[in-house]
Amino acid sequence: MPLSGELGLRLAGRTCAALLLTLFVVFLVAPVVVVALMSFTDQLYLAFPPTRLVLRWYYVVWDQPRWLRAAWNSIQIGVATASASVFLGTLSALAVTRGAQRWLVPVGSLVVAPMMLPHIIIAIGLYPTMLDLGLSSSYAAVVIGHTVVATPLVFITVSAALRGYDHALELAAMTLGANGWRSFIHVTLPMIRSGLVVGGIFAFAVSFDELMLALFLASPRTETLPRLLWEHLAQTVTPAIAVVATLVLAFTLLLLLTVQALRRRGMAEPAA
């Protein structure tokens, strides 16, 4: 009898855990499903559930050059942000993890500090700076702003990768005649390659989805998709917004799946 009671408690616990996990997943996925379904509506306004599933608003978005231009701007800015973030984040991670000086330890906290600050505070600080530098309303201003908030992600992933293998491998390469640069290229870089790529993808995703900095730093010539979405939400709420949001969500999901695949590959490489 006690054994059956214990089994019953275990079964009840597993059932409750499965129920809570299901509710949590539904809570996260439901808004995405609602937005995706509204993008296929045949109405002139956002309506759920849609009375009929059509591709009308997808054609509308495709035929509006402004949406395509904003998407291209987001991609360009995202690539530039990812490149700059990988460069700065990798240098910072190397300095903090490989440096012997104690004063380098607080530097790591300073690098990740932008993750803890609201983007509006960063934007308020960057906007007059860009004006003073003559970079206002330029692509460079948006890239600099996005790099500030994206670099910490690269720093974290590269730092984790650097701590994941033995530093003695670099020392062994140097004792065999390799200088610091060749040791980094042929020993360190292959070891942290997955961390670099994952950090770069995260940096691109942050730039692609970022709104607050774009509101302050972007111009009509450099507007991004999130800024254009915000403008349409404030002026004309049509299912075109749901279409663009669905495409952005799909693209972001693709990036996350890529990151997951790279992580699995990185975990399998040492075993090979």
Domains and CATH numbers, the chain: 64-271 (1.10.3720.10)
DSSP letters, the chain, are -HHHHHHHHHHHHHHHHHHHHHHHHHHHHHHHHHHHHHTT--SSS--SS-SS---HHHHHHHT-HHHHHHHHHHHHHHHHHHHHHHHHHHHHHHHHHH---GGGHHHHHHHHHHHHS-HHHHHHHHHHHHHHHT-TTSHHHHHHHHHHHHHHHHHHHHHHHHTTS-THHHHHHHHTT--HHHHIIIIIHHHHHHHHHHHHHHHHHHHHH--HHHHHH--TTT--HHHHHHHHHHH---HHHHHHHHHHHHHHHHHHHHHHHHHHHHHHHHH-
Q: So what's the pLDDT on residue 176?
A: 63
Q: So what's the pLDDT on residue 270?
A: 47
pLDDT, one tens digit for every residue, the chain (272 residues):
455 666 667 777 778 888 888 887 777 777 778 888 888 877 777 777 777 777 888 888 888 888 889 989 999 999 999 999 999 988 888 887 776 666 666 777 777 888 888 888 888 888 888 888 888 778 888 999 999 999 998 888 888 887 777 666 666 666 666 666 667 777 777 777 778 888 888 899 889 888 888 888 888 888 888 888 888 887 777 888 888 888 888 888 888 888 777 767 655 554 44
Q: So what's the pLDDT on residue 271?
A: 41
